[in-house]
Structure 1
Amino acid sequence: MLKDSTMEQAANHLGDLLSLRGQTVVTAESCTGGWVVKALTDRAGSSAYVLGGLITYSNIMKRELLHVSAENLAREGAVSESVVRQMVTGAVKVSGADFAIAISGVAGPGGGSDDKPVGTVWFAWGTPATGIVAHCCHFDGDRDAVRRQSVVYALQGLADYVQKL
């Protein structure tokens, strides 16, 4: 299992990058339930680069808050590339942040299927202006382990994205 220090280091690294650049982030989280924004805001002074977090656990919230299309949700499901890309777009639009992180997955213990087993998590980060990158991961472990790995992966993913700009 990942140690909290790994999560803290990933959050601090991303925070340092955003602070140096004077840029901001917003999160759109489903299976992590706000854990990414929590990790970012554990640090004093994070209000300089964290605008907030949207916990869009249900499809209704994804549609209403982030304007994810009902068609994509019905056709591909919430745990899909198209949905996390739309979550990034919606989060940037509603917040005005420079970047967004979006996460939707199957943390378990139930809810998995043959094509999306427990541990399947889709991520996206970026912005419509600079491009949105999406990745799918398959994590092992129980619900807590899947969620912890997801938080760290999301933080590291946006940090890598920002460094390449």
Structure 2
Amino acid sequence: MAARVLRLLAECDQSLAVAESLTGGLVAAELTSVPGASRVFRGSVTAYATPLKRDLLGVDGELLERRGAVDAEVALQMARGVRDRLGASWGAATTGVAGPEPQDGQPVGTVYVAVCGPPGGPCAEGEVAALRLNGDRAEIRKESVRSVLELLAGELPDNARAKDTEQNGGN
């Protein structure tokens, strides 16, 4: 999925930045494991501590106080913040509870992943997915990485030439 996301971004001449909480850098690691990722991947912010979400990513402090860090709107603001602060076309974010204990009144396995596209584009305000994941800490984190990349891939425009090639027998 990481290779597909990077290919789609390159075809559109767009870039990506990532804000991570519960995944702790795993999304960035997955992306940078693909040769040539530097062509579109700008970088990441691992804002594990709640104050960093406010201070580094611009998440509304009152929102964090009211709802905590595990929230759909927090995920969207993280994605917008990292997109803007790192100068990328797209921002992606993960926040949630991997366990072993609940956090901010949310049970283990509660995860929000979000993406925001270029300002003025169809996904500029962002898309968020609420997940209820099962498994241990490692499984929840791994599924969160897969989910944010899948959400992003679904929002990126497919290359029209590739679609045309498939429809015409691969020539």
Alignment partner of 2:33 out of 21, 39, 42: 42
Residues 14-163 of structure 1: pairs in structure 2 closer than 5 A? 14-112=5-103, 116-127=106-117, 129=119, 130-163=124-157
Q: Contact (CA 8 Å) 1:89, 1:128: kept in 2 or not? A: no
Aligned length: 155
The percent of aligned pairs where both chains have the same amino acid is 36
Over aligned residue pairs, what C-alpha RMSD do you find? 1.6
Taking the aligned partners of 1:75 and 1:146, their CA distance within structure 2 comes to 25
Taking the aligned partners of 1:128 and 1:111, their CA distance within structure 2 comes to 34
Query: Which is richer in helix?
Result: 1
Structure 1: segments with no counterpart, 5+ residues: 1-9
Moved >6 Å (runs of 4+): none
1:163 is displaced (CA, Å) by 2.8
Structure 2: segments with no counterpart, 5+ residues: 160-171
SS of residue in 2 equivalent to 1:63: helix
Q: Which has the larger radius of gyration?
A: 2
SS of residue in 1 equivalent to 2:92: strand
TM-score (norm 2): 0.86
TM-score (norm 1): 0.89
Q: What is aligned with 1:4? A: none
